[in-house]
Amino acid sequence: MIKLFYKYFLFLIHNSSIMVGGQAVIEGVMMRAPGAYATAVRDPEGTVQIVYKKHQSIVEKYQITKIPVLRGFLHLVDSMKIGYQTLDWSSSIAEETNIKKNPYIDWGLSILSIFFAIFLFMGIPYFFTEIIISKQDIDNNFLFNILAGLLRILVFVVYLFTLSQLNDVKRLFQYHGAEHKVVFNFESGKKINIINAQQFSTYHPRCGTSFMFILMIVTIFTYSIIDSAFMIVFNTVNFNIILRIGLHLLCLPIVAGLGYEVLKLLSKHQDKFIFYILSLPGLWLQRITTKNPTDAQVEVSISALNAAFNNELSKFEGQQHVADAIG
């Protein structure tokens, strides 16, 4: 059950500019390149199996979808869709399962995962914040969301740390580190190989972990404004937990889009001191979600990137790039 849950949950959680990024999957790595993505997984026999798919996101198809915030939300939806599919495929390869899946069970697990995430990252923080606020007899939306935001971050860190103690998740986080090292190698312009990739850090500013942290900070400010606006428009002060959760869930696409834009801004200006400082908490959090990979794991990551470029990765060597995708 634990394996099934983190499979369904973690995908929620990874100069010229080029759309390159990826995510760790079970015993492998998925890499995205312009117009395609590829997943490489090492099967139980030690063979690296690869699947390549052409792909064009909705943001690339229509001009209107390039509007800031909207494009961020659509990028995330697209990434989640790909992430789910690649995790599902990697699971079947790594575990050699040929059992026909029941779509109703899959949907049931997905719904349970969503409800568990809502309970963990909204229900628990809001419940304890309500207790603290009521005892102090304070009615302030900004203070409520600051306390709830801090509790959400605490729950998130504890949850990630607990997950990281599982052996399967440790390997997943090693592949996460392998993905980052290879993306860094690609950005540097150096020849992409195991030796060069292993010289780079496992902490990348455009990681999905950093995005999750930024998202939790953004929620503090945006939810404070949303709560206040709701109370003014509907002339109410009765704001119970269920109503607050429902309102915040409805506004989550806006918050996610804002978080995406903030992450892109921070990652593009790492050379500026203030932006670097603001990105540090997300990088520190990657001490939990990334681990140093083995050479064999880096080999899988390189295989995925090469396949994503349709085996023409060598054409991009010799010049520096900025990998412009979250992963």
Give the integer Cα–Cα distance in Å for 278 and 73.
22
**pTM, to two decimals:** 0.86
d(C-alpha 5, C-alpha 102), whole Å: 16
Q: Do residues 38 and 307 lie in contact, with contact meaning Cβ atoms separated by under 8 Å?
A: yes
Q: Kindly state whether residue 324 falls inside one of the protein's structural domains.
A: no
CB under 8 Å, gap of 24 or more: what pairs does 188-193 form? 188/320, 189/317, 189/318, 189/319, 189/320, 189/321, 190/317, 191/317, 192/302, 192/305, 192/306, 192/313, 192/317, 193/302
Backbone angles phi, psi at 235, to 5 degrees: 50, 55
Q: Tell me the C-alpha distance between 28 and 300, whole Å.
A: 6
- What pLDDT sits at residue 138? 67
Look at residue 315 and tell me if it is in a domain: no
Stated as kind and residue range, the H or E segment containing 59 is helix 58-61
Say if 149 falls within a structural domain. yes
Q: Is residue 180 within 8 Å of 301, Cβ to Cβ?
A: no
| pLDDT tens, per residue, the chain with 327 residues | 445 445 544 544 443 345 678 899 999 999 998 889 999 999 999 999 999 999 888 777 777 778 888 888 888 888 888 888 898 899 888 876 655 666 777 788 878 888 999 999 999 999 999 998 887 766 688 899 999 999 999 999 999 999 999 998 999 999 999 999 999 999 898 999 999 999 999 998 888 888 888 889 999 999 999 998 988 888 776 678 899 999 999 999 999 899 888 887 877 777 788 878 888 888 899 999 999 999 999 999 999 999 999 988 888 777 776 666 555
- Give the count of domains, the chain: 1
Is residue 271 helix, strand or coil? coil
> In this structure, is residue 326 part of a structural domain?
no
Token digits of residue 146:
């600051």
Q: What residue type is assigned to position 245 of the chain?
A: I
Answer yes or no: is 214 within a domain: yes
- Residue 176 sits in which domain range? 2-310
Q: Is 320 a member of any domain?
A: no
Is residue 321 domain-resident? no
Are 36 and 29 in contact, with CB atoms under 8 Å apart?
no
79 occurs within a structural domain: yes
Cα separations in angstroms, 39 against 22, 189, 209, 234, 238: 9, 22, 20, 49, 49
β-sheet with 48-54: strand ranges across: 21-25, 28-33, 36-42, 48-54
Q: What span, in angstroms and rounded, lies between the C-alpha atoms of 35 and 17? A: 14
